[in-house]
């Protein structure tokens, strides 16, 4: 990709004598940017709180089912056929509902996680573009770079800008 960028710039420069042939390239570490941004930590905390609330409800439901199951085991011999049938149906119904709610929680959690990640990625992309324009950077590379000097890495500036934007909200 870098070679292609140089080839394009060289071809253009050969055709125009007055064109500035210097190409400014930078590198970013997207994983580090995401992990060190306060937006990521905030989103992670929001997800954990949402997950903990729903898990607490599911645990309460499971405990209710366990109590009914113990009652069934303890009192089955003393119950009438109708009572026994009602209790077994209630346990089955609650178990089905719990299973459904667990699946729904997992789907909601995955969806919410993707929403937050998408929002963060968009925000990071905006900051990268701002810094590129401000510093006159022509090309910013990410994953797959074999070597780069620390001078080319603008990840710290992006993280600082994200921290500032987070603090300003």
Distance, in Å, from the CA atom of 101 to the CA atom of 94, rounded to the nearest integer, reads: 10
Q: What is the largest CA-CA distance in the chain?
A: 100
**pLDDT tens-digit map of 32-62:** 888 888 988 898 898 899 899 999 999 999 9
**Could you give the 3-state DSSP secondary structure of residue 140?**
strand
Q: Rounded to an integer, what is the distance from CA 135 to the centroid of its chain?
A: 29
**pLDDT tens-digit map of 102-153:** 999 999 999 988 988 888 888 888 998 998 999 888 888 888 776 677 777 8
Give 90's contacts (C-beta < 8 A, 6+ positions apart).
68
Calculated CA dihedral for residues 118, 122, 127, 132, nearest 10 degrees? 120
How confident is the model at residue 22, as a pLDDT? 80
How confident is the model at residue 9, as a pLDDT? 44
At residue 143's C-alpha, the angle toward residues 42 and 26, to 5°, is: 90
How confident is the model at residue 6, as a pLDDT? 40
How confident is the model at residue 110, as a pLDDT? 92
CATH topology of domain 2-168: Protein Binding, DinI Protein; Chain A (3.30.910)
Distance, in Å, from the CA atom of 57 to the CA atom of 4, rounded to the nearest integer, reads: 56
Distance, in Å, from the CA atom of 93 to the CA atom of 72, rounded to the nearest integer, reads: 15
């Amino acid at each position: 990709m870098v070679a292609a960028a140089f080839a394009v710039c060289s071809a253009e420069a050969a055709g125009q004598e007055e064109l500035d042939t210097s190409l400014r390239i930078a590198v970013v570490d997207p994983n580090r940017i995401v992990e060190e941004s306060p937006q990521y930590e905030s989103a992670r905390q929001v997800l954990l709180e949402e997950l903990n609330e729903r898990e607490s409800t599911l645990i309460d439901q499971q405990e209710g089912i366990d109590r009914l199951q113990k009652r069934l085991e303890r009192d089955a011999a003393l119950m009438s056929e109708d009572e026994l049938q009602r209790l077994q149906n209630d346990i089955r119904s609650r178990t089905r509902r719990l299973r459904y709610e667990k699946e729904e929680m997992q789907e909601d959690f995955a969806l919410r996680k993707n929403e937050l990640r998408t929002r963060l990625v968009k925000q990071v992309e905006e900051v990268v573009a701002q810094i590129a324009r401000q510093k006159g950077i022509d090309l910013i590379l990410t994953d797959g770079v074999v070597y780069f000097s620390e001078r080319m890495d603008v990840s710290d500036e992006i993280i600082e800008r994200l921290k500032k934007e987070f603090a300003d909200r």
